[in-house]
Chains A and B, each alone.
Chain A
Amino acid sequence: MSNYLIETNGLIKSFGNFKAVNGIDLKVPKGEIYGFLGPNGAGKSTTIRMLLGLIKPTQGMVQLFGRPLKSNRLDILKKVGSMVESPSYYGHLSAYENLNITRKILELPKSEVDRVLQVVRLTEVKDKLVKKFSLGMKQRLGIAQALLGNPELLLLDEPTNGLDPSGIHEIRDLIKRLPFETGMTVLVSSHILSEVELIADQVGVIQKGEMIFQGTLQDLRVKGSSTLIIDANPMERALVHIEQMGYTVQVRDGRLYIPEQTVDPAEMNKKLVMNNISVRHLSEHRDTLEEIFLSITREDLKR
């Protein structure tokens, strides 16, 4: 059996002629945090809903815990906590009553409600009606609900939506702790890479319903390019020399840009100086993950 806790094969969902999800092979290893990335409307939520059996795939397979979801839905869902898009809640009930309903469905002891309230720090307002909650509090209640019973798998769709910076930080810390403390596997979706960059081990990037990258963050970094930026005097001779060395050079704002990954900056410096060219500035610019993410999602748009 594979080590993937979530595995989908050729997952497709079409709404009429529109393919919201088009052949996704999602592979989420056990015990890791998986960042599910993509711009808004790329198909993240539709995919997550198919993982929960809320939406039936038009084609393809969903396997959770190594078993097909279709025939084991109830058993599988007992081990899954989730929050899909905006948190759902019963506004006319208090936070405690809301969690108590989920607790009863999952047949957990009462102490679980108090525990998760503590985790998301809502204990003090547990008797307040949820319709009077701020968006951030509702979001935290949604996460508390997902954490009830310490599920083995946690699916969080845009969990930091609508939170203030300190709230985002808090949720991020919480998610990061989970695999260490409980061995939980977490899938977090987001349209902002920096949100998952700090916590995810693996990422999947989807665009227009298709997976355009899946792997570790390290693998994603490699996809980025680095550019050597040189300011030298005299510029013309430097340009000629570098071109003779076989590199393509662009001149912009009085600087030379070498968009090449294999240049050794020290070697380049040495060669220029030995040819009596004074080097005033030499730096290497690497694409940040955000730039890589933007460039691969943009590339795909052009197709």
Chain B
Amino acid sequence: MIKALHIEFLKIKRSKLLILATFLPLFAALQGGLFAVDMKGKEEDLWHFVYLGAMTQFSWFIFPLLITIILSIIARIEHHHDGWKQLFSLPVERENVYFSKLLIGFALIIYSVIVYTVGLIIAGISVGADSSIPYDMIVQRPFLVIVASLPIIAIQFYVSMRFSHVGVPLMVGIGLALPSMLIANSAKYWIYYPWTYPITSALTDTFGPLGKAEIMYTVCGLSFVVITAIGLIQFRTKDII
């Protein structure tokens, strides 16, 4: 498995994934900084506005977009030029390939969140927010967003592995992320639409899980396990044509 991970890492070495996973979160953090600059003098708690300004961008679109791109490129490396047939002609276990790709995807997603929190801290300090950094908001919350994004990660990974054309996962990922802010405003329906979960978990003050936090995180965990398992079963028995 470690060997499989190392090999997956070699494959993404020259792709633009790392650059993307660095700059997209920094862009969101920058938005937060700019938002806080506007509030300077008017409001006391600048950290809050750095967070709010950045999170409205990040949770709604930038993070789902990042997930979509990372996972589709990891799968595309094989889809492109028929890599699957060569890979599976070698002595490798299909499930090892499946999980190492998922893990590499996770590693990149977590990396991008680390960059994001560092970006938030830098943004906060540079706009002159007070010296005590509210770690529970700036650091903890973004990682909670990862948990809330588990269904998106599972769905995107499934679609990316399943369809050889990279357009399919990109369309699904972007297409479903776009209306999420609207649906998140619906107190009744948001729970049925996983693309609202990162927004809800990040901006609880604005939307709030309304007592549905437990349901939401249960759905996250369960759907991730189920979708990943279905994907694996299909992947193991798929004919490579």
Q: Which residues of A contact B (CB under 8 A)?
A: 49, 52-56, 73-75, 77-78, 80, 82-93, 97, 100-102, 104-106, 145
Say whether B147 faces chain A, with CB atoms less than 8 Å apart. Answer: no
Q: For the complex, count residues of B whose C-beta is within 8 A of A.
A: 27
Contact B81 A88 (CB under 8 A): yes
Most A CB atoms within 10 A — which of B3, B7, B86?
Answer: B86
- Partner of B241 from the list A49, A91, A92, A104 (CB cut-off 8 Å) is A49
A90 to B12, CA, bound (A): 10
Q: How far is the CA of A159 from the CA of B10 in the complex (A)?
A: 27
Beta-carbon contact of A102 and B90 below 8 Å? yes
Is the beta-carbon distance between A88 and B86 smaller than 8 angstroms? yes
Report yes or no: B14 in contact with A93, Cβ–Cβ below 8 A. Answer: yes
**Beyond A80-B89, A82-B89, 10 extra complex contacts between A and B, CB < 8 Å:** A54-B85, A54-B240, A74-B92, A75-B91, A86-B81, A88-B87, A89-B83, A91-B80, A97-B10, A105-B3
Q: Which residues of B lie under 8 Å from residue A54 when comparing CB positions?
A: 85, 88-89, 239-241
Q: With A101-B10, A104-B6 known to touch, is A49 a contact of B91 (CB < 8 Å)?
A: no
| B45 interface residue per 8 A CB criterion | no
Give min CB distance, B142 to chain A, whole Å.
30
Nearest Cβ on chain B to A226's Cβ, whole angstroms: 43
Q: CA A92 – CA B78 in complex, angstroms?
A: 12
* Chain B residues within an 8 Å CB radius of A53: 88
Question: What 5 A-B pairs have minimum CB-CB distances, sorted nearest first?
Answer: A88-B86, A54-B240, A77-B91, A55-B239, A74-B91
Q: How far is the CA of A55 from the CA of B84 in the complex (A)?
A: 12
Known: A89-B81, A101-B7. A52 touches B88 (CB 8 A): yes
CB distance from A47 to the nearest CB of B (A): 13
